[in-house]
Amino acid sequence: MDVQDIVNTVSQKAGLDQATTEKVVGTIFSVLEHEAEGTSASSFFAKIPGADALAQKYDVMAAPAGGGGGFLSSLQGALGGVLGEKAGALVNGLAALKASGLDLAQIQKAGETLVQQAEAAAGPDLTNQVLGSVPSLKSHLGLG
């Protein structure tokens, strides 16, 4: 199972279009990539072909396109600076998910389906280990 299979399944089960689903999946993977520690994250991404590339495409720590971004981006920058990169990645990721126009129920359904698909691809132990290293993401996705 590769990342496109995951995007397709999340799209169907959460009732989202492909472009939105790809952004949601990429954003969640990007948060995991920035926040999950050590070899478990590397192993996790190695088991899902394309996940790493999708995470980089939707990198939550990349500067917003076109510079600026106003108050929200300056607030995110300040929070990221105060809380460190790890919290900054989570703050930016959650802001990106909310900016995608989805409501909380849609984000949670997409997150739940994504986790089920990741467990099928990478195994439940490894998936739980990676998600466990970012507990606040689990609670925001309604998984905690």
pLDDT in tens, the chain (144 residues): 999 999 999 999 999 999 999 999 999 999 999 988 778 999 999 999 999 999 999 999 886 554 444 545 555 454 544 445 556 888 889 889 988 889 888 999 999 999 999 999 999 999 999 998 888 888 888 776
76-112 confidence digits (pLDDT tens)? 454 544 445 556 888 889 889 988 889 888 999 999 9
User: How many domains does the chain fold into?
Assistant: 1
Helix axes 104-122, 38-46, angle to 10 degrees: 80
Domain that holds residue 12: 3-140
CA distance 141 to 144: 8
Residue 3 contacts residue 52 (beta carbons within 8 Å): no
Residue 63 contacts residue 33 (beta carbons within 8 Å): no
Please tell me the predicted confidence (pLDDT) of residue 68: 47
The whole-model pTM stands at 0.83
